[in-house]
Amino acid sequence: MHVAVNAHVTKDNIEGRVATGVTFIKNNKKNTVYAKRALVLSAGSIGSPQILMLSGIDQKEHLESFKIPLLADLAVCRNLEDHMFSIICGPINISEAFTEPRGRPL
In a domain, 97, yes or no: no
In a domain, 12, yes or no: yes
Among residues 62, 55, 68, the alpha carbon closest in space to that of 17 is found at 55
In a domain, 64, yes or no: yes
In a domain, 102, yes or no: no
Residue 103 scores a pLDDT above 60:
no
pTM over the 0.85 mark: no
Q: Between 43 and 64, where is the model more confident?
A: 64
Q: What is the pLDDT of residues 3-42, one digit of tens each?
A: 888 999 999 999 888 899 999 999 999 999 999 888 888 8
In a domain, 95, yes or no: no
* Distance (Å, whole) CA 82 – CA 49: 12
In a domain, 93, yes or no: no
Q: Tell me the residue range of the domain where 38 lies.
A: 7-78
In a domain, 22, yes or no: yes
Residue 41 burial (10 A CB sphere; 0-12, 13-18, 19+): middle
Residues 6 or more apart whose Cβ sits within 8 Å of residue 31: 7, 23, 24, 25
Q: How many domains does the chain have?
A: 1
Q: Do the Cβ atoms of 41 and 72 come closer than 8 Å? A: no
- Tell me the backbone φ, ψ of residue 13, rounded to 5 degrees: -90, 120
